Structure 1
């Protein structure tokens, strides 16, 4: 074990950590927003949009992330030249968002359906509109059910950011790979990388536990 390399490589990889976190946070927020929109469209069975989103979900769930990134970064810009100027990190966010939202949609949809019909009917009987029932009754309760699965999706996004290096984004995987390719200390570089990912996931698991505890307190009142 080359401890001098371990120290220097750790510093190099940590310098790229903000890029990984930026990709994760932005992609997760956008994915969740898109997933909620798609799930609501499906929930209310809105024609045309429902069919369009069904094709989108099927496509992105049925194809791997790396080809999706390649299509967005290398493929589509060959036909639409203005897209060639879009930074690789932006393409990566778009790819992660589209990919993750296709999976999150099912989580959100299942959570919406978990709310008892009686509560929805009672809200409508008291004069609430369908959208008011959704925002005031259904979504707050669905959020509690969705938290564990959404955090699983968040973990998948964290891991998915490791694919960003395939289109030139220097995040922690790319930083470790670059150091290893120069010094040939592959074991040390990739162990450092895996430990950093592990720590990130452990932190996320702790945050998930805290949020679930808060939801339990709220619903016990």
Structure 2
């Protein structure tokens, strides 16, 4: 099993590399965010151990970019122990989150659990009611009618559709689609939702994109 470690602190990186090798894994070590992202995308890894505070590109951004193209399991290993940080990491697509300082035996146990579980591969086609999304070709139809979307509109629809029935906050949508921190004074998410609804909902009687007041949006077919 091949594991990629993305860790900038020299002693921690060497400790992880040596320990995982001795535990029977093949391990590679990257010391910057850009190097870690490049290796994660180009290498055939079974799991990535990722720090948050990295030079060049933080771990949040590495994971966000990685999830656009790859579903390899990711375990955050970081000193950031706030609940908000843990929630953010998991919402961005991490499979587990372990706080430093850590027990190496626990890290190995978590890694083995994730490897047994394996990646959950995303479907090439997503269907919700009569809406069909061809993920690979970036094509959308509803009731057989082609819907033309901008790249951002497609990214927004894809985010909502791959998590049906789950309420997504405005801050999560902003970070995933626009790679930005949500500012309560901006209405960029709401404007984008209105434009998306005009294309995928307004021409049909059954609505799929719903507002959850004070929280965000959810995609589902309500009875």
Class of the TM-score when normalised by the shorter of the 2 chains: under 0.3
Select the structure of larger CA radius of gyration. Answer: 1
Given the two structures, how large is their TM-score scaled by the length of structure 2?
A: 0.27
Comparing both structures, which one devotes a greater share of its residues to strand? 2
